[in-house]
Amino acid sequence: MIYFDNSATTKINSGVLDTYNKVSQNIWGNPSSLHQFGSEAHNLLTQSRMQIAKLLNVSPGEILFTSGGTEGDNWAIKGTAMIKRKFGNHIITTSVEHAAVHNPVEQLKKLGFEITYLPVDKNGRVSVEDLKKAIRPTTILVSIMAVNNEIGTIEPVKAIGELLKKYPKITYHIDAIQGVAKGLENIIFNDRVDLVSFSGHKFHAPRGTGFNYKRDGKKIAPLMAGGGQERGLRSGTENLPGIAAMAKAFRLVMTNEDEKVRHQRQIKSEIFNHIKKFPNVIIFSKNDDTFAPHILCFAIKGVRGETVVHAFEKYGIYISTTSACSSRDQSVTSTLSSMHVDSSIAEDAVRISLDENNTIEEAKKFNQVFDQLYQQFSKLS
Amino acid sequence: MVKEIYLDNAATTPISKEVLADMNDKLKNVYGNASTLYQLGRNSKRILDRSRHIIAQSINADDNEIVFTSGGTESDNTAIMQTALARKKLGNHIITTSIEHEAVLKPLKYLENHGFRVTYLPVDSKGNISLSDFKKALDDDTILVTIMTGNNEVGSRMPIHEIGEILKNHQAWFHTDAVQAYGLLDIDVKKDHIDMLSTSAHKLNGPKMVGFLYRRNGINYPSFIKGGDQESKRRAGTENVPGISGFATAVKNLPSTEKKHRQDVYYQYKKEIIDGLKKNQIDFEINGELNRHNLQHVFNIWIKGISTYVMQANLDLAGIAVSGGSACTAGSIAPSHVLTAMYGTKSPRISQSIRISFGRYTTESDIQFLIKNIAKIVKQIKKRKQEEV
Ligand SMILES: Cc1ncc(COP(=O)(O)O)c(C=O)c1O
Ligand SMILES: Cc1ncc(COP(=O)(O)O)c(C=O)c1O
């Protein structure tokens, strides 16, 4: 089996699973309880938080645990809107965000907020200039993804941070869910960012885990109100086994990051350089450092994405039509349509997404299968 | 290492071996994203469907009425905030009780600050509300009634069935927080006319950060966590398939007979504690009431003259974990709002009570050990006080 769908979800790492099991069996107290079961749990919670903070070079109090990426995005957006409504009602985001950003923003629109969706160029990238023009005195939030989940564009989140230094009151949120351990920490954790969302299962941690970075002092309303966990900002009994496992997964994925990035780029190049030779292939991702190392989106003209996915599956190769969350939806992918790709071609798009455990051999095997399938498809059309 | 005896199962329970084994199987073998097209994803989808079915049956709901969430807090917040959002045109009044969990009270507080009117039904010294108070509170503006199935600090049960009957002919939607009750009582959402019901897996030896919100067909509100189309567009986010499967396994291990059995066993534990403390001439009273009807896993007692903090800390030294109230009021020993509602702010019970809560792994000898240690601690403290005099 060759698993090339790591942007949808990743396989849990076996050491991470060990941690999950050990904590589940040994330290299952409620961190809020005052007895020794509780304090053991509380200590581990603190350690996990410190470990993640250290790897990101931020302070532990700036890491807040959530149930995953979607919650993190929803919280950043709605929590900011709730607390800043009195200062303004304008939000700026992009036309290529994941549904976890797009849909809460649309909900706010129904509640009276004004939304600017920044357009993108033919590489799926927004321009800082467009953003600058969009800013109004009533702008309270800018929410931009670090890495696009459909084609892998790296958005200019650092340059945007530079621009926003002139607008200190605007909350700046980055969806970094596709950007973990891809060599992008320096641009994501720029001087100006206020909120960053992460999802555990995208880096070999179990589902039901995630965290938001929140800059010290930045105000946000809780989305989950209740028992007051996470300093009152995210209530609910902490998923300690999940959190400890996520901290470990994060450490593992961040170890030798540069090498892992290079490795993924090599695999991507192997496939990119192969498929680009075929006349009916259109590649939407670029093979350079303006794009993430792990995502390659392309189409075989005239062959529906779904057909391509199923054809590869027969050979034990798992790829996907663009974003997993809307795979069952028939509507055409939003990133490609925002790039003004013709809808007949956008329907043909598929996505390969790698991680550090994939190999060059797998890429070669993929290329062989690709040749066969390409021939079959050509005969059909 | 001292003996470790865990009597704080209302805060959280240890995950069971069966649940952990099931989750390991799913974590290792079924990691496809349930929304994807290929086989790995379809396997995830199948497990999701199967788990949903097991859980729907446990409360006599239809499969499509179960929405998986990240736990009790999210379920409560969703039911309350989204009902208010969807129904504010129909009225602005909400009825609840004064002894709900913070996961209900906090969102209600937010709504109160934003123009909603909230009635907090009082409770008597047994922790019960009165139906006539409830009927009096209900008016044409009431859009939501949120009343817990059973209380997490004293175990009293609310008249869910009667409230459901009354609301049959009223516009208000009926939500119940069953986070504590779900593992011990048979709940039939149809018979009790429940519109929404919250649960949390870690209270019944399942994983943490997993729960569900039952939402009766016909009850419609915009989703709380928005994004992808998961959970039929009612809860976005990549599905926690291993966690959900573990939850279903925990539920499967709790058939009606097992729940009844536990209620019986825990009731006996309470009686043993009462007998044991009496035998040791300890001056105490039950907060709430001992009866066959209540949630039996929670036992709250006032040990006269000894502060919650002192008793809890001394028991902790002896290796026994009990709680000074609800754990979820994160790490605080602020006075319990439940005991305050029952006995008033001036009662010494507020500062001299502990909550003992039983679970699947509690044993007879744990109970004896607890009694012995409470007696020992009380004697020591009494002695010290006499010496000081
Ligand atoms: C860019 C991006 N944002 C948000 C999400 C949502 O994360 P999750 O499904 O873990 O809630 C995803 C993945 O699905 C994503 O790729
Ligand atoms: C009655 C009640 N409701 C809600 C909750 C919140 O559940 P969770 O912490 O799993 O989100 C709890 C326990 O913490 C509870 O006892």
Instruction: Give the structural domain span for B91.
Output: 17-252
> What pLDDT sits at residue B3?
67
pLDDT at B331 over 80: no
Last residue of a domain, one of B252, B268, B292: B252
Q: How far apart are CA B131 and CA B160, in angstroms?
A: 10
The mean per-residue pLDDT over the stretch B261-267 comes to: 98
Output the pLDDT for position B385. Answer: 84
Q: Does residue B192 carry a catalytic annotation?
A: no
Give me the phi and psi of A34, to 5 degrees please.
-90, -10
Structure confidence at residue B275 (pLDDT):
98
User: Looking at B59, B154, B315, B328, which residue is catalytic?
Assistant: B328
Across all residues in chain A, what is the average pLDDT? 95
B218 with B75, same domain: the answer is yes
- Residues B238, B283, single domain; the answer is no
Predicted confidence (pLDDT) at residue B31 exceeds the cutoff of 90: no
Query: In B, residues 140-199, which contact A (CB 8 Å cutoff)?
Result: none
**B239 close to B231: Cβ distance less than 8 angstroms:** yes
Q: Does B312 touch chain A (CB under 8 A)?
A: yes
Scan for tokens 């913070």, then name that residue.
Answer: B102
Q: What is the pLDDT of residues B299-328, one digit of tens each?
A: 999 999 999 999 999 999 999 999 986 544
Residue with the bigger pLDDT between A348 and A29: it is A348
Q: What is the pLDDT of residue B34?
A: 73
**Does B247 share its domain with B269?**
no
Considering only CB atoms, B237 lies closest to which of A25, A30, A70, namely A70
Give B140 or A325, the one with higher predicted confidence. Answer: B140
Give the pLDDT score at A1: 92
Q: What residues line ligand 1, using a CB cutoff of 6 Å?
A: A 68-70, 73, 98, 100, 145, 149, 175, 177-178, 199, 201, 325; B 227, 237-238
Lowest mean pLDDT among A46-50, A260-264, B43-47, B153-157: B43-47
- Taking contacts as CB-CB distances below 8 angstroms, the residues of chain B near A244 are none
Residue B32 has pLDDT above 80, yes or no: no
The sign one gets for the Cα dihedral B279, B282, B283, B287 is negative
Residue-wise DSSP of B3-22: --EE-BTTT--PPPHHHHHH
Angle at B89 between CA B86 and CA B92, to 5 degrees: 90
Smallest Cβ distance to B35: which of A28, A225, A327?
A327
Residues B290 and B213 grouped into a single domain: no
Ligand nearest to the CA of A33: 2
pLDDT digits (tens, 9 = 90+) for A142-167: 999 999 999 999 999 999 999 999 99
Domain boundary among B217, B233, B252: B252
Among the residues of chain B, which ranges form H helices? 17-29, 39-58, 72-87, 102-113, 131-137, 160-167, 230-233, 241-252, 256-279, 308-317, 337-343, 364-388
Q: Which atom of ligand 2 is nearest to the CA of B75?
A: 11
Q: Residue A341 has what pLDDT?
A: 92
Judging contacts by C-beta atoms under 8 Å, the chain A residues touching residue B37 are 306, 309-310, 320-321, 327-328
| Residue from B73, B146, B329 to probe ligand 2 pocket by mutation (most atoms less than 8 Å from CB) | B73
* Average pLDDT estimate for B246-273: 98
Residue B278 tokens read as 């009496």
Least confident residue range of A279-283, B26-30, B269-273, B300-304: B26-30
* One domain, residues B236 and B303: no
**Which residues does chain B have within 8 Å of residue A351's beta carbon, measured at their own beta carbons?**
none
Picking from B38, B227, B229, the nearest residue to A329 by CB comes out as: B229
Q: In terms of domains, do B246 and B284 share one?
A: no
Q: Are residues B87 and B57 in the same domain?
A: yes
Put simply, the answer to whether A325 touches B77 (Cβ < 8 Å) is no
Instruction: Among A294-303, A318-327, B2-11, name the most confident range.
Output: A294-303
Q: Residue A34 in contact with residue B331, Cβ under 8 Å?
A: yes
In the prediction, which pLDDT does B330 show?
45
Q: Which residues contact A137 (CB under 8 A, 6 or more apart)?
A: A88
Instruction: Give me the pLDDT at residue B46, please.
Output: 93
Report d(CA A360, CA A264) in Å as an integer: 9
| Per-residue pLDDT, B332 | 55
| Whether residue B227 sits in one domain with residue B360 | no
Collapsing DSSP to helix, strand or coil, A278 comes out as coil
Q: What is the pLDDT of residue B325?
A: 64
* pLDDT computed for residue B4 by the predictor: 87
Q: Within an 8 Å CB–CB cutoff, is residue B29 touching chain A?
A: no
Ligand 2 centroid, distance to B77 Cα (angstroms): 11
Q: How many CB atoms lie within 10 A of CB A103?
A: 24
Query: ipTM > 0.90?
Result: yes
Same domain, B268 and B223: no
- Kindly indicate the confidence band of residue A36, based on its pLDDT and cuts at 50, 70 and 90: confident
Cβ distance A8 to B35 less than 8 Å, yes or no, reads yes
How large a percentage of chain A has pLDDT more than 90? 91
Please count the residues of chain A.
381
Does the pLDDT value for residue B211 go beyond 50? Answer: yes
Q: Is the C-beta atom of B73 inside 6 A of ligand 2?
A: yes
Q: Are residues B199 and B272 in the same domain?
A: no
Minimum mean pLDDT among A278-292, A362-376, B24-38: which range? B24-38
Residue of chain A minimizing CA distance to B322: A35
Which of B195, B230, B252 lies at the terminal end of a domain, its last residue?
B252
Q: At what angle do helices A360-380 and A257-275 cross, to 10 degrees?
A: 20
In angstroms, rounded to a whole number, what is the distance separating the alpha carbons of residues A242 and A21?
A: 9
Record the pTM: 0.95
Look at residue B39 in the predicted model and tell me its pLDDT.
Answer: 76
What's the count of helices (H) and strands (E) in chain A, helices before strands? 13, 12
Assign residue A228 a region (left: φ > 0; alpha: ψ between -120 and 50; beta: otherwise): left
Quick one: which atom of ligand 1 is closest to the CA of A201? Answer: 10
Q: pLDDT category, A326, cuts 50, 70, 90?
A: very low
Residue A235 predicted with pLDDT over 70: yes
CB atoms within 10 A of CB A373: 19
Nearest CA to ligand 1 atom 7: A69
Residue B123 has pLDDT above 90, yes or no: yes
Q: Which of B202, B203, B226, B373 to mutate to test the interface with A (most CBs of A within 10 A)?
A: B226
CATH of the domain at B118: 3.40.640.10
pLDDT more than 70, % of chain A: 97
Residues of A in contact with B331 (CB under 8 A): 31-34, 38, 42
Query: Are B343 and B237 in the same domain?
Result: no
B33–A226 CB contact, under 8 Å:
no
DSSP B61: -
Condensed to tens digits (0 to 9), the pLDDT of residues A244-291 reads 999 999 999 999 999 999 999 999 999 999 999 999 999 999 999 999
Kindly determine whether residue A24 and residue B200, on different chains, have CB atoms separated by under 8 Å: no
B333 has a pLDDT exceeding 90: no
The answer on B224 and B129 residing in a single domain is yes
pLDDT score recorded for residue A222 = 97
pLDDT average, residue stretch A200-217 = 97
Tokens coding A206: 């179990």
Nearest CA in chain B to A82: B110
Instruction: Tell whether ligand 2 has an atom less than 6 A from the beta carbon of residue B325.
Output: no
A226 vs B73: CB contact, 8 Å cut-off? yes
- Catalytic-labelled residue, pool A82, A111, A225, A325: A325
Q: What's the CATH code of the domain at B366?
A: 3.90.1150.10
**What's the gap in Å between the CA of B126 and the closest CA on chain A?**
24
Under DSSP, the state recorded for A143 is E
Does ligand 2 come within 6 angstroms of the Cβ of B180?
yes
Q: Which two tokens stand for residue B20?
A: 């952990």
Q: Is the dihedral of CA A334, A336, A339, A342 positive or negative?
A: negative
Contact with chain A for residue B80, Cβ under 8 A: no
Name the residue among A167, A176, A169, A178 with its Cα closest to residue A6.
A178
B194/A137 Cα distance (integer angstroms): 47
**For residue B149, which of B201, B204, B101 has the smallest C-alpha distance?**
B101
- The predicted-structure confidence for B339-362, as pLDDT tens digits, reads as follows 999 999 999 999 999 999 999 999
Please say whether the beta carbons of A250 and A203 come within 8 A.
yes
pLDDT band at residue A370 using 50, 70 and 90 as cut-offs: very high
Residue B33 pLDDT more than 80?
A: no
- When divided into structural domains, chain B yields a total of 2
Residues of A in contact with B239 (CB under 8 A): 207
pLDDT given at position A99? 94
Ligand lying closest to the C-alpha of residue B235:
1
pLDDT value, residue B327: 45
For residue A71, the chain B residues in CB contact (below 8 A) are 70, 225, 237
Per residue in A336-362, pLDDT tens?
999 999 988 999 999 999 999 999 999
Contact A253, A203 (CB under 8 A): yes
Mean pLDDT of B173-192: 98
Minimal-distance CA residue to ligand 1 atom 16: A149
Does residue B188 have a pLDDT over 70? yes
Interchain pair A33, B227: CB under 8 A: no
